[in-house]
Amino acid sequence: MLTKSPLEAWIARKTGCKQLTRAKLEQYQLAQLQKTVRLAKAKSPFYRHRLAGFAAEEITDFAGFARLPFTYPRDLRENSLRFVCTSQADITRIVT
């Protein structure tokens, strides 16, 4: 019998799956991507505009994820504060 690696055990705990399969892991990943898109649209002025007309529920597979628009370096240079998803008072440190 193969023993689980620490990474596999952590992923199983994080996803709530006792028997981790590729399908279950992909389902979890897609749900997290949808959650991230919803959060970005709700909290970030930049992504609210950039993702207008794109619903998180459109990400039903990884091909759907590939349809998300790119974010370019110029976007960060020109709109840095519009990316923020929280109050600036809550930010203590920025890591890049």
Q: Where are the domains of the chain?
A: 17-90
Of 96 and 80, the structure prediction assigns the larger pLDDT to 80
CA–CA separation, 66 vs 50, rounded Å?
A: 15
d(CA 26, CA 50): 25
pLDDT of residue 9: 83
Question: Reduced to 3 states, what is the DSSP secondary structure of residue 76?
Answer: helix
Q: Is the Cβ–Cβ distance between 33 and 65 less than 8 Å?
A: yes
Higher pLDDT, 65 or 46: 46
Residue 6, SS3 per DSSP? helix
pTM: 0.80
Q: Token pair of 64, please?
A: 């759907």
Predicted confidence band of residue 21 (pLDDT cuts 50, 70, 90): confident
For range 67-95, the mean pLDDT? 89
